[in-house]
Amino acid sequence: MLRDKNLIPLSHQHQHALALCVRIDRAIQAQDVDLQAWQAEIQTLFEQEIAAHFGAEEKDVFPAAARFEELAGLVNDLQSDHTVLRELFLRAASRDLDSEDLGALTEKLSQHIRKEERQLFEGMQKLMGPEELSILGTALNAELKDASQSCLLPNEATRLRPRS
């Protein structure tokens, strides 16, 4: 199903976060992890996009979806994910993640995003009418207006380098 235009800003931010997860996973697989650099990048993404993204979902998206019995349990799961992810983001900001934690953060974040895209957004598009989605889109645009809309570029420390 095509993504409704009113949910696209959230989907774009999901793409940014997934791109970071892929880059971190590749670094882990290559055993080329600069923990300090990755944690700094995670902190920046959280501050520029994810904090506002979570806030918009919790204020506007989750309540709109929770009105539907078929989505209420999923919304509870997603809210729990936000709690766990916030803790991991705070630990990254404190530079308190080890390599295992870094992998856990990327796994949890990518699973969470896929759950929102494949289950929550698809369900909302089936259950909500165009007017409801438009109202939601207006609210999301207001909530996200100050969030960065650009993908973070890898820095020298987090860019995968060919092995010598």
pTM for this entry: 0.87
Q: Say what the pLDDT of residue 152 is.
A: 46
Would you say residue 151 has pLDDT above 70? no
Q: Say what the pLDDT of residue 164 is.
A: 43
Q: 138-144: long-range contacts (C-beta < 8 A, 24 or more apart)? A: 138/6, 139/56, 139/59, 139/60, 140/6, 140/7, 140/9, 140/10, 140/56, 140/60, 140/61, 141/9, 143/52, 143/55, 143/56, 143/59, 143/60, 144/9, 144/10, 144/13, 144/52, 144/53, 144/56
Domain ranges within the chain, ordered by starting residue:
8-144
Return the percentage of the chain with pLDDT > 70, whole number.
Answer: 90
pLDDT digits (tens, 9 = 90+) for 57-113: 999 999 999 999 999 999 999 999 999 999 999 999 999 999 999 999 999 999 999
Q: Tell me if the domain spanning 8-144 has CATH number 2.170.16.
A: no
pLDDT digits (tens, 9 = 90+) for 6-58: 999 999 999 999 999 999 999 999 999 999 999 999 999 999 999 999 999 99
